[in-house]
Each structure stands twice: as C-alpha cells, then as structure tokens.
C-alpha cells in the first residue's frame, strides 16, 4: 500500500500567509493524494488507485496571525467571487470528473460566516455539497463519528466515483474535495476514513482478506498519519493535530495536550519564522523581489519574541489545565506553573526541559513537552495521597551567571512519593 501526495505549486506558502483562492482559481494548501494498492492474483500484477483532493476554501479570505484562534474574514464581496470560484471547479471537473465537496468547518461561531459563503456559491454552481461540522459531530473526542458521513450522499458518492483498476478497465470517475479551515487536522481524519472505506470495498471486490488484520490496520493508520504530518509540516511548520487518533484510532488526554502545545507552536511560528519562510518561497518562485526581505527585517524590529513566548507559556498552562483537570476524577484546580525539570525522571540535576506543573486538591500532574516536535509526550500523574514529602529551596543550575545565584529567582522543588 502506497500514498503519494502532490502539493500544488501555483499558490504555495504557509498557513495564515496563504489562504483561500487567487484570481487564477488556484487554492492554498492544494494537495492531490493517491492511495495505491499493489498485489498479485493468479500471477497477474494488480495496481489500484484512489484519488482524493484537499485545498483551502476557494474564496478570497484572510486570518490575522496575531490571535491564537483568528476569525476567517472575507476580503471581497461574496458574489464578486463567483467567476473565479466557478473557474476553480471547471478545472477540477476537467481533470478529475465529478466533484463532491465535503466541508468540515463549524456551523456556529467563528467559522460559520465563511462556511455559509462557501455553501451559497456551491449551491449557485449546482455543486454537490456536504457540510459536516466536525467539531460538533465529533464532540467529546468521538472522532469515530465521521462514519456518519457514509450513511448519506457522501457514502453514495464514494461508491459512484469508485477507483481506478486498469486490469478491469475501471476508472475513478470523480473525487472528494475535502476541506476544513487549515485543510490539515480534521481533513486528515476524514480523508483517512474515506481511504479506509474504499480500500475495504476494493479488497471485498477481489474476495481478499488481510492475513494479519491488526498489523494491516496499524500500517494503514501510520501511513495516513505520516502523510498528514508531512503536509502539516509544510503548511504550518508543525506535526498535524489529532495525529494520535489517526495512528491508533484512540483519543486520550495526552493527545489533546499535545495538540495544545502544537497549536501554540503554530501561533508562535506564524508571527516570526513563517513570515521569513514565506518570503523565501515567494522569492524562489519569482513572484517578488529582494524587497520582501526588507519587509521581514522591519517586521522583526518591531516584535518582542520574549513577550510572545511568555504569553504563549501562560496560555499553555490554561489549556493544559482545561484538558487534564477532572479527566481522571472530579477535582478542584488550585494552580498551574511553567517549570524546568531534568529530562530524566527521578534525578535532581541534569539537562533541563520545559514542563507544566498542575496542582489540584487530589492530584499533582507534571506534563513534559517539546515545542519543536511532538508536543506533549509524557504526563506524570501523582495522587497527593501517595506523596511522602516535599523539599523546597534554592536550585542552582550549572550556568554560573550572577542572576542564577540569586536564591529568590532560582527556586527548586522535589517531590517524594
């Protein structure tokens, strides 16, 4: 089983700096993904393909990078976009056949306006359109609810479009065009569900059964999770959110906390590194001259990375407490802090790492995370009833700066349990 994803080069760039459509009908974060199944039957090699599409909502819209969860705003009057919107789908139909739109944005709240605009133009162009509010339908981490899509027009479209199998003179006659706002995290889960449904239908058509179903399922999940991560790294500079569900089919609080870390990492990079990367992309593609780097320097000169990092860490404590406190048992939240702790457990010295300390009336939680990679990767849960002692005092690191020798600014805590 193979996955091949082709990233569109006609509207390249990063997340908040490349949204929506351009005047030529090209969309940001455009990806054509083909799932290929290869096997032998009666000495004949079979190669079967199934194609899906993802891409930004084909409207002119923007989002400010200066907010953690910015509201998408249309930048042109709705009906003035009709021609370029129609042109986008004319080109898709010419290449892929019939198109069924699956929009995963919220029907209420900050995403509703752009979702309604998309639906109106799709209706005007007589395009099959399914609006599946992923966050509402899968509330409470019930991501398996995406299977509801198979009971309606989407399930029928998947059957009608089929797949390409040249050994049977069979060709896929249409494609699903899936989007959320970023076309990353929610889209990954839904596209992997479509791919699984189609793969099952292909195997059934050949009366094939995997020799080891659990191994096959794990391989399939990892393949799609890796695909989602690769697309996400290019567009948002981080791994995909909800990746734990794509890999394992399960959603736990550690995965939710990892998503919180990755969300804040995206926010930080959108303000700083993404702008420089976008400048490089635009310059290399020949769409802008060297003056773009002057703009970058001016932007950097007016920014305060330290203040942003501090606010991000404060936000992370709040998000972590919302995810973890009360997950295991009812409890009252007392406080949360950003701390540095040795990377290895049960040692007092060593290389330090970012952690979050959460205290409730019943439990202590230490959440280890990495900004640059997989987010939260370990949560240590210590019931207060198991606590034997707490040692509190000054803590000095190996960095001998005058500031580091001030006991009022270098506080250490050891927990014995």
- Quick one: which H or E segment has residue 278? helix 273-285
| Residue 136 pLDDT level (bands cut at 50, 70, 90) | very high
What is the reported pLDDT for 13?
81
What is the reported pLDDT for 176?
99
What is the reported pLDDT for 338?
86
Instruction: Find the length of the chain.
Output: 417
Selected residue with higher pLDDT from 34 and 376? 34
**Residue 179 bridge partners (DSSP):** 103
Instruction: Specify which of 161-170, 270-279, 291-300, 374-383 reaches the highest per-range mean pLDDT.
Output: 161-170
Selected residue with higher pLDDT from 31 and 287? 31
Selected residue with higher pLDDT from 305 and 186? 186
Helices and strands per DSSP (H, E), number in the chain: 11, 15
- Quick one: which H or E segment has residue 5? strand 2-7
What is the reported pLDDT for 3?
97
Distance CA 111, CA 134 (A): 12
What is the reported pLDDT for 271?
60
Residue 113 pLDDT greater than 80, yes or no: yes
| Residue 362 pLDDT level (bands cut at 50, 70, 90) | very high
Distance from the Cα of residue 232 to its chain's centroid: 6
**45-64 tens-digit pLDDT:** 999 999 999 999 999 999 87
**73-108 tens-digit pLDDT:** 999 999 999 999 999 999 999 999 999 999 999 999
Residue 158 pLDDT greater than 70, yes or no: yes
Distance CA 120, CA 127 (A): 10
Residue 232 pLDDT greater than 80, yes or no: yes
The token duo for 180 is: 């959320």
The DSSP code sequence of 283-348 is HHHTSS-THHHHHHHHHHHT--HHHHHHHHHHHHHHHHHHHHTTTSS---EEEEEEEEEESSTT-S
Selected residue with higher pLDDT from 344 and 364? 364
The token duo for 324 is: 């973890």
**262-302 tens-digit pLDDT:** 776 766 666 666 777 777 777 777 777 777 667 667 766 66
Residue 399 pLDDT greater than 70, yes or no: no
Distance CA 11, CA 111 (A): 22
| Residue 351 pLDDT level (bands cut at 50, 70, 90) | confident
Residues 395 and 368 sit within 8 Å (Cβ to Cβ): no
What is the reported pLDDT for 242?
76
All domains of the chain, ordered by start, with CATH? Answer: 2-212 (no CATH), 323-416 (2.30.29)
- CA proximity to 250, closest of 228, 219, 226, 218: 218
The token duo for 48 is: 């079967």
What is the reported pLDDT for 99?
98
What is the reported pLDDT for 417?
92
Please return the burial class of 224, using the count of CB atoms within 10 Å of its CB with bins 0-12, 13-18 and 19+: buried
- End-to-end CA distance of the chain, in Å? 48
**Sign of the C-alpha dihedral, residues 203, 242, 92, 5?**
negative
Mean pLDDT value across residues 371-392: 78
Residue 373 pLDDT greater than 70, yes or no: no
Selected residue with higher pLDDT from 185 and 402? 185
What is the reported pLDDT for 296?
65
- CA proximity to 154, closest of 136, 122, 125, 177: 177
| Residue 131 pLDDT level (bands cut at 50, 70, 90) | very high
Distance CA 47, CA 11 (A): 31
**314-331 tens-digit pLDDT:** 777 887 787 778 877 889
Residue 249 pLDDT greater than 80, yes or no: no
Distance CA 349, CA 399 (A): 12
Residue 187 pLDDT greater than 60, yes or no: yes
Distance from the Cα of residue 249 to its chain's centroid: 16
* Average pLDDT over all residues of the chain: 86
In the block, residue with structure tokens 């939240």: 333
| Residue 169 pLDDT level (bands cut at 50, 70, 90) | very high
C-alpha distance from residue 381 to each of 49, 87, 180, 326, 377 (Å): 46, 55, 34, 12, 13
What is the reported pLDDT for 149?
96
């Amino acid at each position: 089983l193979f996955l091949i994803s082709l990233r569109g080069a006609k509207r390249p760039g990063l997340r908040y700096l490349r949204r929506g459509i351009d005047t030529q009908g090209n969309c940001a974060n455009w990806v054509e993904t083909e799932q290929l199944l290869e096997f032998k039957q009666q000495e004949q090699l079979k190669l079967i393909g199934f194609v899906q599409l993802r891409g930004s909502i084909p409207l002119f819209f923007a989002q400010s990078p200066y907010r953690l969860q910015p509201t998408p705003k249309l930048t042109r009057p709705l009906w003035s976009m009709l021609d370029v919107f129609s042109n986008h789908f004319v080109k898709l139909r010419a290449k892929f056949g019939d198109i069924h739109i699956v929009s995963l944005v919220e029907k209420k709240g900050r995403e509703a306006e752009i979702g309604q605009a998309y639906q109106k133009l799709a209706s005007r162009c007589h395009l099959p359109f399914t609006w599946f509010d992923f966050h509402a339908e899968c509330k409470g981490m019930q991501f398996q609810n995406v299977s509801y899509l198979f009971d309606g027009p989407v399930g029928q479209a998947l059957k009608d479009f089929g797949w390409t199998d040249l050994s049977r003179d069979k060709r896929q006659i249409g494609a699903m065009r899936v989007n959320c706002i970023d076309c990353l995290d929610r889209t990954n889960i839904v596209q992997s569900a479509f791919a699984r449904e189609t793969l099952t239908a292909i195997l059934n058509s050949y009366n094939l059964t995997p020799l080891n179903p659990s191994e096959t399922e794990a391989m399939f999940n990892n393949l799609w999770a890796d695909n989602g991560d690769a697309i996400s790294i290019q567009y948002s500079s981080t791994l995909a959110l909800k990746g734990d569900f794509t890999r394992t089919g399960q959603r736990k609080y550690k995965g939710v906390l990892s998503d919180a870390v990755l969300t804040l990492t995206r926010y930080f990079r959108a303000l700083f590194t993404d702008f420089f990367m976008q400048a490089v992309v635009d310059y290399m593609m020949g769409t802008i001259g060297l003056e773009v780097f002057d703009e970058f320097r001016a932007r950097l000169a007016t920014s305060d990375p330290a203040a942003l990092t501090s606010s991000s860490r404060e936000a992370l404590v709040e998000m972590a407490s919302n995810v973890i406190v009360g997950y295991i048992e009812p409890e009252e939240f007392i406080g949360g802090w950003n701390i540095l702790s040795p990377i290895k457990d049960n040692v007092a010295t060593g290389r330090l790492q970012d952690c979050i300390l959460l205290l409730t009336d019943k439990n202590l939680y230490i959440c280890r995370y990495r900004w640059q990679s997989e987010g939260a990767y370990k949560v240590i849960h210590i019931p207060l009833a198991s606590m034997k002692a707490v040692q509190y005092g000054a803590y000095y690191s190996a960095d001998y700066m005058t500031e580091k020798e001030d006991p009022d600014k270098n506080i250490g805590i050891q927990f014995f349990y």
